[in-house]
Structure 1
């Protein structure tokens, strides 16, 4: 009996995957008949669900448009230029998904100021940088980004769709939701910025204290000298045209005036500066690490909150308004991306905790609902990172795209294309940039979601 079930599952998957791998993606005459005939495909989320929001202006001029290796070469999935949603639509025999909105709100001089345009009948609402409910995501102009991503949050994406279709789903749509990654990136960035600021402040103070102490030690009255040296450094530090060298010079001058004439020689004060710099580095590193450790738990809570918000969106805006087929992908293991692997062990542990908090809340809120399919992308991504060969992946640690400024001015997959890849065969790399998949890995994601839809009885 067990062998019969396995054989049936293999045959079913073979039929589905045939639909994913062809040029058109449409099932051939011998393929499995779809159990559910979806009338349309609707998708909400972030960069992983973005079918071309920013394929305009300067981004388009740079050969970009989607968070992938842009462009098509050959007939295989390696350089198809398609994200997973495009494979899914083809498999269902539906038109290729199109972006519901396009535009940029950034630096006009760089081509990143393009009016927002909405498209009737286009139901691809996912946007790079979009968070679950907060309108300010990574790349938004309010973060200081010259790119000016729109980052319309998922909560508003759903409202926009409901407004476009009369307030209700028909019930024959397949709805895909994948979000949370931008919340993670944004929260990690905010924590990093705050920790860096704390470290910089502590380092600046430690440098001054160390140098003042050393310079004052050779004066007649060290206590009085230290005050004078400190005042001199503070005054120069407030000078708009100050430099590190000018601050040191002010301190040395004050020390000489206080009686330590020996420090006038670079041979004497030079080693003092070196020691002060070492003290600053040590203090700054400790302060930054201490800040991150003290506030890491807040980021975990923030991710749990974002997941609760997403659960509420699914229940209160999708299901309650008639959606009957809603597939929600949880977050992959971001710690295994090139960006994650470059982090310290403490940061990697924090990333895993943040992802787990998000995924646990999704599981708690959405498991067991007949009209919801919760897809465990986390487990799949982790398995790919440790056991890539069965998936056909040849590299799960490096980026396929050359992200150097000379090759890719934005340094992200949004403007990665066939002309700025790294040398060699990168077609079956897992990652296009530091976090986003290659076309081949998007294809694998489509296969994985298809498998779960078969088990659910939707395919």
Structure 2
């Protein structure tokens, strides 16, 4: 016979035990003879360096500092020239060529060659575009303006093409379907000709201002001397000046005729017959010439100082334009790597050192304004590497030996017309170098580096590329 009481007890005990086991299992409680497996330890991820770019093409835009042979045609080629440095031999490379070799890229070649100058002198050579060549930089090129130094419209017999950087970039985009490739390295260096062109205009304007001031001082001095003893000297001075001005306005009038006119008015107004004595008038003229020369010299720096805001503003504009080309025509069209060299210290070149003391501070201010605008406009662009060529040239000038340079103030090339028909590094080679060892001079001519100094720039560029992770 079954005992119901005992069965109920056993059933309740079993259920309680089962429920407790299920509860402990679900909650992870209880104990077990098998230890739990500890969670796996997650090792921190080691940061990996970004892969260095592998460049397939080098494309250069700019001016003579990057020109690999636009004008190596006609008489220029016959003279053994073609690049703005010491030409000839395997060592006659400029920085874009040296950089391409260091990066194991194809040697750069000029995208366009030709000259538009005097045909009788051999400077008229048809313009030819070269497929597969990406050296667009041209001697004399400005940032956006078509007319640079030695362009035919300036009266230069050379007739340099001076295609501006803006059109150089447009030409490449037209040839490449409007886009840059993912493995292109773009090189940009310009602005120097904008500065030099403005200086050419300034020089002409300052000379004209000085000449005008000198002429006024001469006329006034002579008129005052001639009017001595007149009843109304001021009125006679005015009459003499008017008569001299009228005579000078007549085409073909000589200085003697102008002076003679003034003397005639003075004799009539004063009755002073001593003015008929040539020696008496000559003494007055000599004094007037001295005063005129002094006034002319004094007027030049005053004129230059007044033009400082205009010329600095022109270089700010050029810097803005170049930065806009980098951003809107290069980066916006897929350029992955754009290396921009700023403007070197133009005032520190042989030509800059030879400038008038009133001009040198202006040249520095112009270059620094251009560079500062470039820096501001390109600072936030991660695909742009801005190399400070200005600082490099200043460092080299201050301590030449640190860069292996032996001379930073003189030109390696003999620029006399007897030795160098173009009086430029464009036609400089071993046949017209100065005597002695000039292999470590900084400058070939007044503005352009020797191959050795180009190599100094190349090394600085490579250093900055490495810091940027591009090497």
Interval of TM-score (by shorter of Structure 1 and Structure 2): 0.7 to 0.9
Other-structure match for 2:80: 63
3-state SS of 2:196 partner: helix
**Cα offset, 1:410, TM superposition:** 2.3
Other-structure match for 2:354: 342
Other-structure match for 2:329: 317
Distance 2:409 2:258 in 1: 44
Distance 1:294 1:361 in 2: 22
**Cα offset, 1:203, TM superposition:** 1.4
More displaced stretch, 319-328 vs 109-118: 109-118
Match for residue 428 of structure 2 among 416, 436, 443:
416
Q: Is the 8 A contact 1:207 1:279 kept in 2?
A: yes
Other-structure match for 2:294: 282
Matched, 1:200 2:201: no
List aligned pairs for 1:228-239, cutoff 5 A.
Answer: 228-239=239-250
Other-structure match for 1:251: 262
3-state SS of 2:187 partner: strand
**Cα offset, 1:192, TM superposition:** 2.0
**Cα offset, 1:175, TM superposition:** 0.7
Distance 1:155 1:125 in 2: 11
Matched, 1:104 2:115: yes
Distance 1:245 1:421 in 2: 46
Distance 1:303 1:267 in 2: 53
Matched, 1:127 2:138: yes
Q: Is the 8 A contact 2:75 2:123 kept in 1?
A: yes
**Cα offset, 1:222, TM superposition:** 4.0
**Cα offset, 1:187, TM superposition:** 1.3
Other-structure match for 2:157: 146
Distance 2:103 2:145 in 1: 32
Unaligned runs of 5+ in 2: 1-50
Other-structure match for 1:378: 390
Match for residue 436 of structure 1 among 427, 448, 453:
448
Matched, 1:217 2:228: yes
Distance 2:176 2:410 in 1: 42
Other-structure match for 1:369: 381
Other-structure match for 1:28: none
TM-score, structure 2 length as denominator? 0.85
**Number of residue-to-residue matches in the alignment:** 420
**Cα offset, 1:419, TM superposition:** 1.2
Unaligned runs of 5+ in 1: 1-33
Q: Is the 8 A contact 1:37 1:92 kept in 2?
A: no
After superposition, the CA RMSD in angstroms is 1.9
More displaced stretch, 218-227 vs 368-377: 218-227
3-state SS of 1:262 partner: helix
Measured against aligned partners, the alpha-carbon deviations of 1:219-249 in whole angstroms (never above 9, x if no partner) come to: 5664565455335433442343333334334
Residues 269, 359 of structure 1: CA spacing in aligned structure 2 closer, same or farther, 3 A cutoff?
A: same
More displaced stretch, 123-132 vs 186-195: 186-195
Measured against aligned partners, the alpha-carbon deviations of 1:58-88 in whole angstroms (never above 9, x if no partner) come to: 222332211111112xx6xxxx221111111
3-state SS of 1:404 partner: coil
Max radius of gyration: which structure? 2
Distance 1:417 1:256 in 2: 64
Measured against aligned partners, the alpha-carbon deviations of 1:4-48 in whole angstroms (never above 9, x if no partner) come to: xxxxxxxxxxxxxxxxxxxxxxxxxxxxxx943211110000110
**Cα offset, 1:307, TM superposition:** 0.8
Distance 2:420 2:327 in 1: 40
Match for residue 164 of structure 1 among 175, 187, 190:
175
Distance 2:346 2:400 in 1: 16
Distance 2:464 2:272 in 1: 77
Distance 1:38 1:222 in 2: 81
Other-structure match for 1:448: 460
Distance 1:128 1:449 in 2: 21
More displaced stretch, 155-164 vs 211-220: 211-220
